[in-house]
Structure 1
Amino acid sequence: MTLAPGLRASRTIMVEREDTAIAAGSGDVPVLATPRLLAFAEGVTTAAIAKELEPGQTSVGTRVELSHLAATGVGAHVEIAAELTEVEGRRLVFSVTAVDRRGTLVFTATIERMLVDRERFLARITR
């Protein structure tokens, strides 16, 4: 299997109360929390490459650069889309966007992940 730029995935979410800044502890307003949006974005990056990974291989997040551009309230729908834009050895770079149903750009990010052997990675975790 080969990882190459152009792999994509997307997911549409509806903002729930548990997704808000209040629930996440990252603010005191009932809007989609940046940490939740980032978690959704990371999930979409992993989905983009899931079918192309070798057995025993996974990826871990290593770097994020993001801009949260618009507030999104409870009940709103947001589509989060990721595209693999660069592969450099084990390093993967994704471009991620989130757009609401009105067409408002809610979020942009560059997310880097590193390919790792799952067992070796887990064996090195400090406990």
Structure 2
Amino acid sequence: MYLPLGLTGSAVLTVTDADTATAVGSGDVPVLATPRVLALAEAATVDAIRSSLPSELTTVGVRVELAHRLPTPVGAVATATAVLEKVDGRALRFSVTVREGEQLIADGIVERAAVDRSRFLARLEGTR
């Protein structure tokens, strides 16, 4: 599998009450929850390779290192950007940033693994 380094993707979220730490159970303040920041970052990684990944493959998250640096209020727009930095066989490494305007909300690394979609789903059937 060949994927060129530097592929970039993004994902945007307007923060709602449902995205807050209070709502998702990760805290008790009405600001963007860290789990939602992570989901936004992962969505950007998926977007980065969406058009370049062979159709029989998908990716799954395997490791995350994320620093959530600033609170983000309801109504704010958070934008995640992911850049493919390394490909090692099936392992993909992305640098990610999440911003509200010019302010850095979070940054880190997301690692994903490319898997054959059919085989991956077939393995699930054997576990049920």
Q: What TM-score comes out, normalization by structure 1 length? A: 0.95
**Structure 1 SS opposite 2:6:** coil
Structure 2 counterpart of 1:104: 103
Question: How far has the Cα of 1:30 moved from its partner?
Answer: 0.2
**Whole-angstrom CA distance in 1 between matches of 2:31 and 2:108:** 19
Structure 2 counterpart of 1:19: 19
The CA RMSD over aligned residues, in Å, is 1.1
Displacement over 2 Å in runs of 4+: none
Segments of 5+ residues of structure 1 without an aligned counterpart are none
Q: What TM-score comes out, normalization by structure 2 length? A: 0.94
Per-residue CA deviation, residues 98-120 of structure 1 (Å, 9 max, x unaligned), is 1112x211000200000000010
**Whole-angstrom CA distance in 2 between matches of 1:77 and 1:61:** 24
Structure 2 counterpart of 1:117: 116
User: For residues 1-127 of structure 1, what are the structure 2 equivalents within 5 Å?
Assistant: 2-101=2-101, 103-125=102-124, 126-127=127-128
**Structure 1 SS opposite 2:81:** strand
**Whole-angstrom CA distance in 2 between matches of 1:69 and 1:53:** 31
**Whole-angstrom CA distance in 1 between matches of 2:37 and 2:25:** 14
Aligned length, in residue pairs:
126
Identical aligned pairs, as a percentage?
52
Question: How far has the Cα of 1:37 moved from its partner?
Answer: 0.9
